[in-house]
Amino acid sequence: MSCPSRKDLQNYFKKRLPPIKWLPKYSCQHLQGDIIAGLTVALTVIPQGLAYGQIAHLPAQYGLYSAFLCCFVYCLLGTAKDVTLGPTAIMSMLVAHYSENFGNNIALYAVALSFYCGIVQFILGILNLGIIVEFVSSSVLSAFTGAAAITIAGGQLKHLLGLKNTTRSGDLLDQLITVFQNISTINKYDIILSVICIITLIFLKQLRSINWTSPPTSILQTVCRKIVWLTGTSSNGIVVLSSAGIAASLLAKNIDVFSMTKGVAAGLPPFRPPHLSATNTTSWDVLNNIGTGLIMIPLIGIVELMAIGKVLARKNDYTIDCSQELIAIGVANVLGSFVSAYPVTGSFSRSVVQSNSGAKTTSAGIFTGTVVIICLASLMDFVRFIPNPALASVIFCAVLPMFDPSALVKYWKLSKLDGFIWFLTFTLSIPLGIEVGLAVGMGFSLCFFVLYPSARPRIIYEFQDNCTIMKIYEKLTFAGSDYLIEAIRKQLKRTSIILDLTSMNSLDPSIALVLSQISREAGNYGFIMIASKEVEIFLKKVDIKCGSSINDSLREIRCD
pLDDT tens-digit profile, the chain (560 residues): 556 677 777 778 888 889 998 999 989 988 988 998 898 888 889 888 888 888 888 888 999 999 999 999 999 999 999 999 999 988 998 898 888 767 677 888 899 999 999 999 999 999 888 777 777 788 888 888 888 888 888 888 888 998 876 655 556 777 788 888 888 888 999 999 999 999 999 998 888 778 777 888 788 888 888 888 888 888 888 898 899 999 999 998 999 899 887 767 778 999 999 988 776 777 787 788 888 888 889 988 988 888 888 878 888 888 888 889 999 999 999 999 999 999 999 988 888 888 888 889 999 999 999 999 999 988 888 888 889 899 889 888 888 888 888 889 999 998 888 899 999 999 998 888 777 888 888 888 888 877 777 888 888 888 877 788 888 877 777 888 888 888 888 888 888 888 888 888 778 888 888 888 887 777 655 788 888 888 888 888 877 777 767 777 777 666 55
d(CA 38, CA 46): 12
Pick the last residue of a domain from 370, 386, 402: 402
To which H or E segment does residue 467 belong? Answer: strand 467-472
Say what the pLDDT of residue 196 is.
95
265 is a domain residue: no
Among 402, 420, 439, the domain boundary falls at 402
Do the domain assignments include residue 214? yes
Residue 41 in any domain: the answer is: yes
Q: Say yes or no: 45 and 71 in one domain.
A: yes
Contact between 18 and 77 (Cβ < 8 Å) = yes
- Is the distance from CB of 244 to CB of 390 less than 8 angstroms? yes
* Residues 389 and 420 placed together within one structural domain of the fold: no
pLDDT score at 489: 84
For residue 423, the model assigns a pLDDT of 93
Question: How far is residue 79's CA from residue 327's CA, in Å, rounded to a whole number?
Answer: 11
Same domain, 427 and 356: no
Residue 171 placed within a domain: yes
What H or E segment, with its residue span, contains residue 530? strand 527-531
Q: How far is the C-alpha of 71 from the C-alpha of 137, rounded, in Å?
A: 29
> Do 397 and 415 fall within a single domain?
no
Q: Distance between CA atoms of 264 and 64, rounded to whole angstroms?
A: 11
- Give a yes or no: residue 463 inside a domain: yes
Task: State whether 396 and 427 are in the same domain.
Answer: no
Closest by CA position to 443, among listed 412, 471, 421, 467: 421
Count Cβ atoms within 10 A of the Cβ of residue 3 and give its class: 0-12 exposed, 13-18 middle, 19 or more buried. Answer: exposed
Last residue in a domain, options 454, 481, 515: 454
Q: Do 544 and 516 meet the contact criterion of CB atoms below 8 Å apart?
A: yes
> Is 441 a domain residue?
yes
Q: How far apart are CA 246 and CA 385, in angstroms?
A: 9
Give the number of other Cβ atoms within 10 Å of residue 447's Cβ: 12
Do 439 and 469 fall within a single domain? Answer: no
CATH for 530:
3.30.750.24
Distant-in-sequence, close-in-space partners of 74: CB < 8 Å, separation ≥ 6: 83, 84, 85, 328, 329, 332, 362, 365
Same domain, 503 and 391: no
How far is it, in rounded angstroms, from Cα 135 to Cα 380?
42
Query: Do 62 and 163 belong to one domain?
Result: yes
Q: What angle do CA 268, 348, 120 make, to 5 degrees?
A: 65
Residue 2 is predicted with a pLDDT of: 58
Distance CA 182, CA 186 (A): 8
Same domain for 85 and 43: yes
- Using only C-alpha atoms, the chain has a radius of gyration, in whole angstroms, of 29
Gap between the Cα atoms of 31 and 18, Å rounded: 17
* Cα gap 193→184, rounded to integer Å: 18
Do 417 and 462 belong to one domain? no
Residues 6+ apart with CB under 8 A from 464: 554
Phi-psi region of 523 (alpha: psi -120 to 50; beta: other; left: phi over 0): left
Total domain count, the chain: 3
Strands 467-472 and 496-501, bridge-based pairing: parallel
Neighbours of 297 (CB within 10 A): 28
Give the residue numbers spanning the domain of 331. Answer: 14-260+271-402
Q: Does residue 466 fall inside a structural domain?
A: yes
Q: Could you tell me how many helices (H) and strands (E) the chain has, helices first? A: 27, 6
Please enumerate in sequence order all residues whose Cβ is within 8 A of that of 515, keeping only pairs 6 or more positions apart, or say none: 499, 529, 539, 542, 544
Q: How many residues does the chain have?
A: 560
Give the type of residue at 355.
Answer: S
- Rounded to two decimals, the pTM is 0.79
Q: Does one domain contain both 341 and 432?
A: no
Q: Which of 157, 167, 227 is nearest to 190 (CA)?
A: 157
Q: Say if 9 falls within a structural domain.
A: no
Cβ contact 70:350 at 8 Å: no
Please check whether residues 553 and 511 belong to one and the same domain.
Answer: yes
For position 557, what pLDDT does the model report? Answer: 65
